[in-house]
Amino acid sequence: MIKAILYKEWIKTRYLFLVVAVVLVAFTAYCQLRIGNVISLRSAAHLWEILLTRDNTFYEAMRYVPLFSGVLLALFQFVPEMQQKRLKLCLHLPLPQNKIIGSMLGFGVSLLIALFAATYLIIFLYLNPILAPELISRVMLTMLPWFVAGIAGYAFVAFTVLEPTWKRRLLNILAGVAFIRIFYLSGYAEAYNQVIVWLLIITLALAGLSFLSVSRFKDGVQ
């Protein structure tokens, strides 16, 4: 039965999945092209120098891409469920409510993690022959908050879309914007190293807010 729910989620999101994958690859390729240009025009040593002395990781163009990916995925997954209150169909399925919603959210978060992990892998494979492990780690740790922001964006949009009343939706949007802003407060490299694990834990916990929205929907709150 869970497989059937995942199948439904896949039907809703498969084209978006392709678009997001292409966009992530395109942005990654663009950033790597810039790195390649530095190496061919100057040298790898110059690249190392920039990475060590400045806050430029060459991947800044990707800053908001994971966030938009998360937001779009949640919209594609949950707007069709709320149109004509289609969520009722889902809640009528012979499965416990939390299992149904948990599967839907789990699908979305897993899809994002898979896309982000693939992006990380591409970046790692490209940088591995060029940079020292410490510098690769510097690039990846600098990018990590952007990817966590993508999951936070997903969680807050799901929370907002599944909420049955517009008044609460607005409040949810404001809370989401305030929380996601945290991930973009600092532009310094590795600025979030001390807190990123906590931010990730909080983000995953916030994904559970959607259960609250569904519970309100089920109580018929208008």
Partner 1 sequence: MNPVITCTNLTHHYGKRLIYENLNFSVPEGRILGLLGKNGTGKTTTINILNGYLKPSGGECTIFGENIRHINPITKQRIALLIEGHVQYSFMNIEQIERFYASFYPKWKKEAYYELMDLLKVAPRQRIANMSCGQRSQVALGLIMAQNADLLILDDFSLGLDPGYRRLFIEYLREYAKSEQKTVFLTSHIIQDMEKLIDDCIILDYGKILIQKSVSELMDTFKKFTFKIDDAQPSLPADNEFYNPAVYRGNGELFTFQNKEYVEQYLHKHDIEHSQLMSESLNLEDIFIGLTGKY
Pick the closest to residue 8 from 130, 73, 90, 69 (CA basis). Answer: 90
Binding mask 189-218 for partner 1 (x = CB under 8 A): ----------------------------xx
**Contact string 45-84 vs partner 1 (x = CB under 8 A):** -----------------------------------x---x
With left for phi above 0 and alpha for psi between -120 and 50, is residue 93 left, alpha or beta?
beta
Nearer to partner 1, 42 or 88 (CB): 88
Asked if 114 touches partner 1 (CB under 8 A), the answer is no
Separation in Å, CA 54 to CA 51, 186, 208: 6, 14, 38
The residues, ordered by sequence, that sit 6+ positions from 198 with a Cβ below 8 Å of its Cβ are: none
For partner 1, give the closer residue by CB, 6 or 173. Answer: 6
Alpha helical stretches, state H, 83-132: 87-91, 97-127
Q: Which is nearer to partner 1, 16 or 204 (CB)?
A: 16
Query: From the list 41, 134, 188, 220, which residue makes contact with partner 1 (rule: CB under 8 A)?
Result: 220
Give yes or no for residue 165 binding partner 1 (CB under 8 A).
no
Binding status of residue 3 toward partner 1 by CB under 8 A: yes
**Which residues does 139 contact at the CB level (< 8 Å), separation at least 6?**
51, 57, 58, 59, 123, 127, 131
Query: Judged by CB, which is closer to partner 1: 44, or 79?
Result: 79
Binding site for partner 1 (CB under 8 A): 1, 3-4, 7-8, 11-12, 80, 84-86, 88-89, 91-96, 217-220, 222
